[in-house]
Amino acid sequence: MEASRYESPLEIEPQAFSKKSHQFWTLQITGWLGYAFVVFIAIIRPQFDETDFNFSGQMINLVVETMSGFFLSYLQWQLIRKIVHLPLNKTLFLSFTSAAIFGLVYNVIKLSSFKVIVYHQQWNEAWNMLEFGGWLMFSLTTMFVWTSIFFIMLYNTKLQKEHEMLLRAQTAAKDAQLQMLRYQLNPHFMFNTLNAISTFILKNENDKANEILDKLCEFFRYSLEQNIKSKTTLQKEIELLDVYLSIEKVRFGDRLNVEMSICNSAMTAQVPSMLLQPLVENAIKYAIEPRKEAGLITITAQIKENRLVLNVRDEGIGFKAKVSDGFGIGLSNTKARLDAMFNGDYDIKIVENKNMGTTVAISVPFESYYNHD
């Protein structure tokens, strides 16, 4: 990803403000209407009983005061949009310096309008520092408040963008981790299959070697089609597993028997790509390969209490013997992939069957794949 795609915590692209356009205008209009209402109630309304009260002049002056403030705060907003890409200290300095200047201009406009419209005097007639200073404090406060509001909007936008970036980064990291762990499985499977092809060639069983090679190509073609994402549906996993088992069928013939019991409602469940294949591969290695008679591998999947429960059962040697022979490596990989996808919310158990063999039981939250696309 290019460096320009990332933003400093104290910066935000000006175009982010465009997304706040509706919020800005709503706040701008509501805020200045509220300003006009407060001035009317607090300053104009108490003067109704005065003999020389100029109601029409006061109301016209209020409109001029409100509209000029509206225009100046809009200019302040536009200025912040232009300078917000600068470092924070410069942005703050320029923003509040401009707010002070706009406050001074606003004060002159208000005082001049008041003199001309309400008292019909010259715009600068009878000004004094006490009067000008008293009005100036209120004008500066008004512009500083608007500038502060704009910065609240700025950081609200920034926090939202950073949160979205964090979520995307976490998702990308998990996908990368899942892909990395998956790629650790492919070479192992490929080595076993190529070794089988070599064995068939040495035995001059070329037809079987060609058949298994064709199915290997089919397996990788299908696997690559699903490799765009590190997550898939249980249905796609079963389809990939069928292709894999067709390869193993060539190797073991009638010695390999597989039974599947997959609940229809579990087919859309989201799982890591190639979750089942390494478990079944282990079952074949320890339950089918060492024995001359036929062996059975049973695969089940069902939904229980909104969790997907998967079981891979074999009739081979016990779990302790498997671990001593390297079974734990594939299991650790499976655990790591489940942990990366489900944030630790998974359960995996290896249970030795009463008669013989082992069952690998996996429980994960049931999440429909199509709800995440």
Got the DSSP string for 221-288?
A: HHHHHTTTSSEEEHHHHHHHHHHHHHHHHHHHGGGEEEEEEE-GGGTTBEEETTSHHHHHHHHIIIII
Note the pLDDT of residue 243. Answer: 86
pTM higher than 0.75: no
> Which tokens belong to 235?
């249905």
Q: How far is CA 356 from CA 33, 294, 353, in A?
A: 81, 14, 5
Close Cβ partners of 102 (under 8 Å, ≥ 6 residues apart): 72, 73, 75, 76, 143
Asked if 41 and 194 count as a contact pair (C-beta separation under 8 A), the reply is no
Burial of 271 (0-12, 13-18, 19+ CB in 10 A): buried
Three-state secondary-structure class, residue 359: strand
In one-letter notation, the amino acid at residue 337 is R
Note the pLDDT of residue 297. Answer: 93
Which segment of 30-34, 164-168, 193-197, 348-352 scores lowest on mean pLDDT?
Answer: 164-168
Taking residues 226-241, report their average pLDDT.
78
What is the percentage of the chain residues whose pLDDT exceeds 70? 77
Q: According to CATH, what is the number of the domain 205-371?
A: 3.30.565.10
Close Cβ partners of 92 (under 8 Å, ≥ 6 residues apart): none
| pLDDT tens digit sequence for 322-342 | 554 444 566 777 787 788 788
Domain parsing of the chain, residue ranges? 11-166, 205-371
In one-letter notation, the amino acid at residue 87 is P
Q: How confident is the model at residue 45 (pLDDT cuts 50, 70, 90)?
A: confident
Q: Which residues pair with residue 361 across a beta bridge?
A: 311, 349
